[in-house]
Amino acid sequence: MELRVLGCSGGIGGQRRTTSFLLGEQVLIDAGSGVGDLSLAELSRIRHIFLTHSHLDHILSIPLLLDSVFDQLEQPITIHAQAHTLRALREHVFNWVIWPDFTALPSADLPVVVLQEMAPGEEVRVGDCSLGMIPVNHIVPTVAYVVKYPDGIFVFSGDTTTNDTLWEGLNALPRLDHLIIESAFSNAERRMSEISKHYCPQLLAEDLRKLTHQPHVYLTHAKPGEEEMIFNECRQLIGDRPLSHLTGGEVLAL
Ligand SMILES: [Zn+2]
Ligand SMILES: [Zn+2]
């Protein structure tokens, strides 16, 4: 089982792509601009998209993905997300103004995409894996995903700032092998990270003290151009844990 990092940047420019992970061949977790690097054949194998929240950098490839593969699909792509996120897609994307309503195309009986509500506490099984949600703390309702695969568990935090729900949820897991988490801003922009509800290295380091597991920690969502500064600040504050800065194109063997 592989987790392919299609994108994990806080923005675009050069090789940067926004958040999206491909789990195996059929599952996307978030659908940022990195999805556009997949081949048409790879795009047509996607069956499930799990969304952390409704912000554009995490959903922007969905409309074009559907448009690119709709005539090759034998069954719909299912988007799993909280009610708030699905409502945002219906009202602000698939509204015939920004994009056609693919939940009713080519017909309401056999649409290209199905919106499937999911809530914390539920687990959705896909092949060898199961995915569950933990609520986090961001501008809009947002979740982390707990992914149980045959040999372990990884968690992707989604966008978040300081909270207790994520850390209590992580500590309740039987094990935690990989933690993919964000630090969008540097410490100099701590105020901005509080306003926009993201982590900066200081806030993340404080919260990591709550974690009882010893996973490998991967940093994501850095502001473009500040990746090195943010990673160096994290390394100084979180020196006691295995730590990497994740980059687009990496593949994690699970
Ligand atoms: Zn966000
Ligand atoms: Zn984001």
Ligand number with the minimum distance to the CA of 184:
2
The pLDDT tens digits for 127-160 are 999 999 999 999 999 999 999 999 999 999 999 9
Domains, in order of start, for the chain: 2-253 (3.60.15.10)
Q: What is the pLDDT of residue 188?
A: 98
Whole-number Å distance between alpha carbons of 40 and 114: 20
Ligand number with the minimum distance to the CA of 220:
2
H or E segment to which residue 166 belongs: helix 165-171
Ligand number with the minimum distance to the CA of 19:
2
Q: What is the pLDDT of residue 228?
A: 97
Q: Give the C-alpha distances (Å, rounded to integers) separating 207 from 69, 166, 236, 238.
A: 41, 10, 15, 11
Q: What is the pLDDT of residue 71?
A: 87
Task: Give the Å distance between the CA of 136 and the centre of ligand 2.
Answer: 13
Which residues of the chain fall below pLDDT 50? none
Task: Give the Å distance between the CA of 212 and the centre of ligand 2.
Answer: 26
Q: What is the pLDDT of residue 74?
A: 83
